[in-house]
Chain A
Amino acid sequence: DTEVTQTPKHLVMGMTNKKSLKCEQHMGHRAMYWYKQKAKKPPELMFVYSYEKLSINESVPSRFSPECPNSSLLNLHLHALQPEDSALYLCASSQKGGQGVNEQYFGPGTRLTVT
């Protein structure tokens, strides 16, 4: 099973709302990632968790707050977003954050629209 699942598939939220994106994998992977992808652009790394600890934060605004409650789950909490935050949010996982091929497997994404 090489599946990474994400919920919801689509999300529309206002600028004052609080919502969360969820990501789950059952491959025993110990590294999980959040990427943001704008239309017609490549994915851009936001956060990396390695063994449930935040290891990389790519200077993401504090209105995005990641959480890794256990090795299978990754959340992204959203608060006071701006319309320019509308994008496809992709979750990925890899066996570990260390050396080696470290293939990343991606979920289908959550299409977020901020109104």
Chain B
Amino acid sequence: GEDVEQSLFLSVREGDSSVINCTYTDSSSTYLYWYKQEPGAGLQLLTYIFSNMDMKQDQRLTVLLNKKDKHLSLRIADTQTGDSAIYFCAERVEDTGRRALTFGSGTRLQVQP
């Protein structure tokens, strides 16, 4: 199966850390991505992780991958009001030849001032 699941909503206070979680079912996933979508806009690629990595850090963003549990998370340090958006995780499975992304349902992050 290729279902990718996320919790629907997360609310945090400005300055706190946010952790957005994602679970996927296809163990053949090669790359996993995090995208951000602000209201009425397209998707912005935030970061990605290769399936043979456990962690990747990029400024305020930390991605953790637990391949055994098929669990992916995105941690945003020092969350700002500008981080309010919907966050999608996505997986790509190379060996199917699809080369396309399967998106999770999206998590709406609300940052309270």
Contact = CB atoms under 8 A, between A and B. Distances in A.
Interface stretch (A14-22, A68-76, A78-86, A94-102): A94-102
Contacts of B41: 108-109
Interface residues of B, number: 22
B24 interface: no
Nearest to A50: B99
Contacts, number: 55
Q: How large is the interface on A (under 10, 10 to 19, 20 to 34, 35 or more residues)?
A: 20 to 34
Chain B interface SS verdict (over half): strand
24 contacts: A31-B99, A40-B106, A41-B105, A42-B106, A43-B88, A43-B101, A48-B99, A50-B99, A55-B99, A56-B100, A92-B43, A97-B99, A99-B94, A101-B31, A101-B48, A103-B45, A104-B101, A106-B35, A106-B45, A107-B42, A108-B41, A108-B42, A109-B41, A109-B42
